[in-house]
Structure 1
Amino acid sequence: MTENDPSTPDGNEVPKESQPAQEDATTPPRGTSFSGEQQEPAPSPWSAQAQQHQAYAWTSPSHQQQHAQGQPYGTAAFTAQQPAAIPQQRRGSGKLVAGVAVLALLVGGGAGAAGGYFASQNSGGGSYNALNQPVPSQQTSHAPAGSVESVAQRVSPSVVELVVAGQQEQGEGSGFVLSTDGYILTNNHVVQVAANGGSIQAVFADGTKADASIVGRDPTTDIAVVKVNGVKNLSPVTLGNSDATKVGESVVAFGSPFELTGTVTSGIVSALHRPVRAGGSSGDQTTVMSAIQTDAAINPGNSGGPLVNLSGQVIGIDSAIYSPQSSGGFGGQSEATNAGIGFAIPINQARRTAQEIISTGKATQTYIGATVSDARSGGAQIVQVQQGSPADKAGLKAGDVVTKIDNLVINDADGLIAAVRTRAPNDKVTFTLSDNRTLQVTLGGQPVQVN
């Protein structure tokens, strides 16, 4: 793979199903057709069939079709089972489970009756009924500082649902307010379908709706900025320092999963510097991010929402999830499940890109100017070096294997690419090679070409 040309195919192919699962997130297909033709249901975006597609938490087309028909959320419909279709052993097992349930119900009822009898005897004939007690007065105290409740109260007014439509696709995602004059930060994959003549509607926490336009986007880091005009009383977020984030730290995720606006979930930081590959199909440009991994629930529609620490500071942008295949879907379809493995773009990287987009309308990609591949012994092997590039000036040669950037261990090519893109152009970093040599590299910068 070419480090500065992410769309170039290389040895970094998505692992086949027979191989152990990687940290790569999988991407649901984005949007549904506006045509009236009946379409076959798309496979689950997180199923093994979709492992070769994009990796974003996006509203699934099947959900959008249900919503269009007046059924925004699927309802399980159970039909009478035919005895002949049920294996004999399973049918017997079902009877056993049912019998256990009845037994538990009978025992519980008996115990309840006995308990009520004894209570009546011991109270001298009186009884207590919770339904007769007065309703407690409304709590007026503020949420404890540092609690999920206080973070939700502080950040929720800044979170935005983005409803996006293109010529043949539609979908929804999330974003959050950066400034009082209407700049909103989100993921590129949330808004890219509207890049060529589409529309974006921003829905704020108080129900206010406004049209939004794309200011700029960067597919290589999956970051985009949109802007609304004429909306008053916007509440910008407070940005934190993702470099200070620690594994085990409590975090809160915000967004609109499955169009459930204003959803708040919590968890911890599970890992840092996790190389995650996303995109790269259907003409999209590949995103390789050095992600924050979290077990806070992130689902389709959360993309672009903020990941926040308990100080109320944004430390990342919810961007992707990994979910194994589930066979529990109706109609024989696999079903996306939340496996507690979500990924967020570190806010320090997003801040730099957003500032460039707001200032110039474009983003700059950090690069070294070398083609890299996975090394058999671990690390990233330099395959080819462009003449005059930062890698060439630093003395990197074809065949060198990079095992560290500064103190960060590099396990493969994606790890190297993600680590480089996380840094800014003109940063000086130290490459450690497999033969224990070290080289200082001054990182370069080049304009991002947007498809």
Structure 2
Amino acid sequence: MSDTHVLPPFPEEPHRHQPTAPAAAPPPPPRRRRGGLAAAALATVLVGGAAGFAGAAAYDGLAGDDTTAFGSRAETSKVVDTGDQPAADGSSEAVAEKVLPSVVRIVVDGSQGQGSGSGVILSSDGKILTNAHVVEGAGEGAEMTVSFNDGSHAPATVVGVDSLTDTAVIQAEDVDGLTPATIGTSGNVDVGQDVVAVGSPFGLDATVTTGIVSALDRPVNVGTDSEGNATVYPAIQTDAAINPGNSGGPLVDTDGNVIGINSSIRTSTSGATGQGGSIGLGFAIPIDEVMPIVDQLVAGDTPTHALIGVSVRDNPSNDGGAVVPDGAAVGEVTAGSAADDAGLEAGDVITKVDDQLITSSDELVATVRGYRPGDEVELTYRRDGEEQTTTITLGSDAEASAG
């Protein structure tokens, strides 16, 4: 049974299983030998080397080879000094050299236990980006410690958390001179391009894995917040190995620019501990979606998110006998919302936002979350079997909360 879930903070000091060594095979029973064979065997051990050379010389003579001994023709392994070659531009080695100083391990110790995740340095004075579920996982009043690439440590406090985008910013205390990561643009990412993931899977800090971008705009639903709002985002899917403890670490391009924050994985089984391992299906939150939230958290503001102002559900369609998802069906339109202003009605089926096809309610929510309040988008929808389009100016959940 498959399951998509956020990467839980990896519990510290995991049990390490030591496999039992197999019992040694009993020695073979002694064999009876005829008299004189033992002495002959001993003689063979003592003179075997000479006998071998003599045999080789005889063969070489018959073959017409001028070499008279096997040993004179044997080649041995050469030991060479390869030197410390500079990393090639765009190589995984070059990426690691650039990114590792900007990635940290975060250990959280609270009333609900101890775990660890990863983070990305945003400023030289210690502001660090990570996942909300990393800092929230240990409960209220948890203590945090950040471990840097040079081996130093510092306590940290929470600056702000946004559960809807699984984003958090923390502040490492009494530090300076840190190396901030270079923030890239996820909107320029293409399927198939090489990427590198960096973090602390299973507590193994400074771990680098490589892969490609497997898909874009993959709607990932990892649960709901305390108010029942879904944490859904249009993920970058990658086959770079991502495991528990990688949460909050960066997914970067071959120039070392952060294009996403690793957050969740798909597993074939949850296991006894609820922590499945990598099967090559990892998901990162696009950095273009994360950074506006980061700016608001650092400024001390309440994060805002774009919304249409409708409740939606999946719209299953019968296609040749098979039930397939086909758009997001509008259940209710909030009065005075962006959807209401654009003329949407209950029963409409939204099938596209700009050029992004919508096949499910999660995909609609994830796609809209990729925009900011005030953005204009074109919605395509079906009403009574007829396709229609409308331009809508996205609202803000801040307005909804105020209302």
What TM-score bracket applies, with the shorter chain setting the length?
Answer: 0.7 to 0.9
For the residue of structure 2 that corresponds to 1:279, the secondary structure is strand
In 2, distance between residues paired with 1:152 and 1:396? 49
Match of 2:44 in 1: none
Distance 1:79 1:414, change over 3 A: farther
Letter in 1 for 2:289: Q
In 1, distance between residues paired with 2:331 and 2:181? 43
Match of 1:35 in 2: none
Match of 1:244 in 2: 188
The Cα of 1:233 is off from its aligned counterpart by: 2.1
Letter in 2 for 1:443: L
In 2, distance between residues paired with 1:286 and 1:275? 12
Q: What's the CA shift string for 1:268-313, capped at 9, x where partnerless?
A: 0000000000023898853101000000000010000000000111
The Cα of 1:135 is off from its aligned counterpart by: 4.9
Letter in 2 for 1:446: D
Match of 1:136 in 2: 81
Match of 1:374 in 2: 314
Match of 1:357 in 2: 297
The Cα of 1:361 is off from its aligned counterpart by: 4.2
Letter in 1 for 2:368: V
Structure 2 residues not aligned, in runs of 5+: 24-51, 318-325
Q: TM-score, normalised by structure 1?
A: 0.72
Any conservation in 1 of the 2:125–2:177 contact (CA below 8 Å)?
Answer: no
Q: What's the CA shift string for 1:209-236, capped at 9, x where partnerless?
A: 0111111111111011111122122001
The Cα of 1:383 is off from its aligned counterpart by: 0.1
Map 1:32-431 onto structure 2 (within 5 A): 55-61=5-11, 64=12, 67=13, 71=15, 73-77=16-20, 124-125=69-70, 126=72, 127-130=74-77, 133-136=78-81, 138-139=83-84, 141-193=85-137, 196-280=140-224, 286-325=230-269, 336-377=276-317, 378-431=326-379
Match of 2:38 in 1: none
Q: What's the CA shift string for 1:420-449, capped at 9, x where partnerless?
A: 111101000010012320011111112499
Structure 1 residues not aligned, in runs of 5+: 1-16, 27-54, 81-113
The Cα of 1:134 is off from its aligned counterpart by: 4.2
For the residue of structure 1 that corresponds to 2:213, the secondary structure is strand
Match of 1:438 in 2: 389
In 1, distance between residues paired with 2:204 and 2:368? 36
Any conservation in 1 of the 2:10–2:117 contact (CA below 8 Å)?
Answer: no
Letter in 2 for 1:314: V
Calculate the aligned-residue CA RMSD, in Å: 2.8
For the residue of structure 2 that corresponds to 1:246, the secondary structure is coil
* Higher fraction of strand: 2
In 2, distance between residues paired with 1:343 and 1:278? 11
Any conservation in 1 of the 2:112–2:138 contact (CA below 8 Å)?
Answer: no
Letter in 1 for 2:370: T
| Number of corresponding residues | 350
Distance 1:427 1:78, change over 3 A: farther
The Cα of 1:314 is off from its aligned counterpart by: 0.5
In 1, distance between residues paired with 2:218 and 2:234? 5
Q: What's the CA shift string for 1:350-371, capped at 9, x where partnerless?
A: 1111111111243112211111
For the residue of structure 2 that corresponds to 1:233, the secondary structure is coil
Match of 1:88 in 2: none
Distance 1:334 1:280, change over 3 A: closer
Letter in 2 for 1:155: V
The Cα of 1:168 is off from its aligned counterpart by: 2.1
Distance 1:282 1:382, change over 3 A: closer
For the residue of structure 1 that corresponds to 2:378, the secondary structure is strand
Structure with more relative contact order (C-alpha pairs < 8 Å, separation 6 or more): 1
Any conservation in 2 of the 1:290–1:419 contact (CA below 8 Å)?
Answer: yes
Any conservation in 1 of the 2:197–2:242 contact (CA below 8 Å)?
Answer: yes
Name the % identity. 44
Any conservation in 2 of the 1:217–1:362 contact (CA below 8 Å)?
Answer: no
The Cα of 1:374 is off from its aligned counterpart by: 0.5
Q: TM-score, normalised by structure 2?
A: 0.80
Letter in 2 for 1:374: D
Runs of 4+ in 1 over 4 A off after TM superposition: 77-80, 117-124, 281-285, 332-335
In 1, distance between residues paired with 2:175 and 2:56? 64
Any conservation in 2 of the 1:59–1:257 contact (CA below 8 Å)?
Answer: no
Any conservation in 1 of the 2:122–2:181 contact (CA below 8 Å)?
Answer: yes
